[in-house]
Amino acid sequence: MMKKWVLLLLFLSFIVMATSCNKKKPEVVVSEVTTTELTTQVTEEVTEVEPGVPEVDLHLGQAINPLTGLYISEEAAKRRPIGIMINNLKDALPQSGIAQADIIFETMVEGAICRLFAVFQDFDSTKIGPIRSARHYFLDFAFDYDALYVHYGQSPQAQAAIVQLQAPAMNGLSYLDTIMCFQDPERVRPHSTYTSFDGLMAAWDEVDFRKELKPDFVHKFAFS
């Protein structure tokens, strides 16, 4: 009996081993990875450059104002400046035209009186004033800027200095009165005398004074 059980066990073991040997090993599938090379094509953009627009000279026909450094017309820049004696008393206020002056000097004259010396280079005022009389020390301002000196009357010292220094001065209290000056009927003398750009140019034509700046004149200011 025992012998039969041993033989059965051996038989079963043989069957198990045979079955195990017949099993196939699992196949390992290797997937081929296809690498696609991406080619980037760089296209250079060709920018067509249009013909350059010529630069426009914004100051064509202009020149530097020697008193302010601002651009003005060449005609005005070449013209000799004009210095005008302006009344500065309370009864003379408000003055006219001085907003167009490039430089204004305020100086005591006598007592508690002061006057303005307004220097004009580029202007077109139709009413400037009130104009008052000259003082000899204002001539220094005129010479400093090669300016024509405009006044209405003068002190004895100013009269002597104008003659001695041969200063280019236009006195409205002369035959130039009706050419250069006019009276404001709403003002009381001596605060009623005025001039204008046109009147000054007309009077300038009547006198023998140079109208253009000296070619070699050295200005007080230097503008870049």
In a domain, 13, yes or no: no
What phi, psi does 149 have (nearest 5°)? Answer: -100, 120
DSSP category for residue 212: B
> Residue 38: its pLDDT value, please?
47
In a domain, 214, yes or no: no
d(CA 168, CA 209): 6
Task: Say how many domains are in the chain.
Answer: 1
d(CA 152, CA 190): 10
pLDDT in tens, 21-53: 555 555 555 455 454 454 555 555 555 656 666
**pLDDT above 90: percentage of residues in the chain:** 64
Average pLDDT, the chain: 85
> Residue 50: its pLDDT value, please?
62
> Residue 5: its pLDDT value, please?
56
Contact in structure between 117 and 107 (CB atoms under 8 Å): yes
**Sequence-ordered list of residues with C-beta below 8 angstroms from that of 94, at least 6 positions apart, any chain:** none
Contact in structure between 99 and 118 (CB atoms under 8 Å): no
CATH number where 194 lies: 3.50.90.10
- The residue-averaged pLDDT of 181-204 equals 96
Domain of residue 146 covers 80-206
In a domain, 108, yes or no: yes
**Sequence-ordered list of residues with C-beta below 8 angstroms from that of 72, at least 6 positions apart, any chain:** 62, 63, 64, 65, 121, 122
pLDDT in tens, 51-109: 666 677 777 778 999 999 999 999 999 999 999 999 999 999 999 999 999 999 999 98
On the 0-12 / 13-18 / 19+ scale of CB atoms within 10 A, 55 is exposed
d(CA 158, CA 130): 19
Angle at alpha carbon of residue 143, lines to 158 and 129, rounded to 5°: 65
In a domain, 192, yes or no: yes
pLDDT in tens, 104-140: 999 998 888 899 999 999 999 999 999 999 999 999 9
Q: In terms of pLDDT, which residue wins out, 55 or 6?
A: 55
